[in-house]
Homo-oligomer: A and B are copies of this chain.
Amino acid sequence: MHSLLFNYFEAKTGINQESFEFLRDYFKPIESRRNEYLLRSGRICHNLYFVNEGCLRLYTTNMEGKEVTRYFAFKNKFGTALSSFINQQPSFEFIQSLEPTELLVIHRTDFYYLVDTNPHVNRIYRDMLEMAYTTSQERIYGLQGDSALERLRWLLEYQPNILTRLSSKVISSYLGVTPYTLSRLKAEL
């Protein structure tokens, strides 16, 4: 149940089994069904999720009701509505499981307690933030610099699993285009 999480910690911090024992019980296993919501916009996000199996989607809707997807958390990834989790303000984001999903959950209070008291968790959080930041930078420069077709090619190159595994509707909201143009772009190879 916690073995993927242990591997994750071990790879990033070199933690050993007995130190991990102390942490593991903070992370509770839960399951969610396809299309189930773990968080809705407007609510404050109190949980951090680690994906054992399945897939979470983090997205928001803008004023015109259009969906904008920010991140897919597959197996072996952490996911949460990070801005709300950090600032404890109502979330603009939704957290939705796109498939039947097995998760480990930790409550924000416990997590920040561990961040402040446990060097391994401190290191993990730092790593999460650094990664979240650098990937969002890539996205910004991609959105500003590249055409929709170039972004699709980039996705094909670096995250082909997204294209094969998820629906076009969801992919288009990730690429920042409408489903119509995504369909046309795919026709151009």
Contacts from A to B (Cβ < 8 Å): 60, 62-64, 66, 68, 70, 82-83, 86-87, 92, 115, 122, 125-126, 129-130, 132-134, 136-137, 139-141, 143-146, 176
Contact = CB atoms under 8 A, between A and B. Distances in A.
B82 A141 contact: no
B145 A86 contact: no
A140 B136 contact: yes
Q: How many copies does the complex hold?
A: 2
Nearest to A132: B133
B83 A141 contact: no
Contacts of A143: 140, 143-144, 176
Interface of A is mostly: helix
A134 B129 CA distance: 10
B140 A140 contact: yes
A125 B115 CA distance: 13
B86 A141 contact: no
A13 to B, nearest CB: 12
A136 B146 CA distance: 18
Nearest to A64: B145
Contacts of A134: 82-83, 86-87
Contact of A68 (B60, B68, B139, B144): B144
A62 B133 contact: no
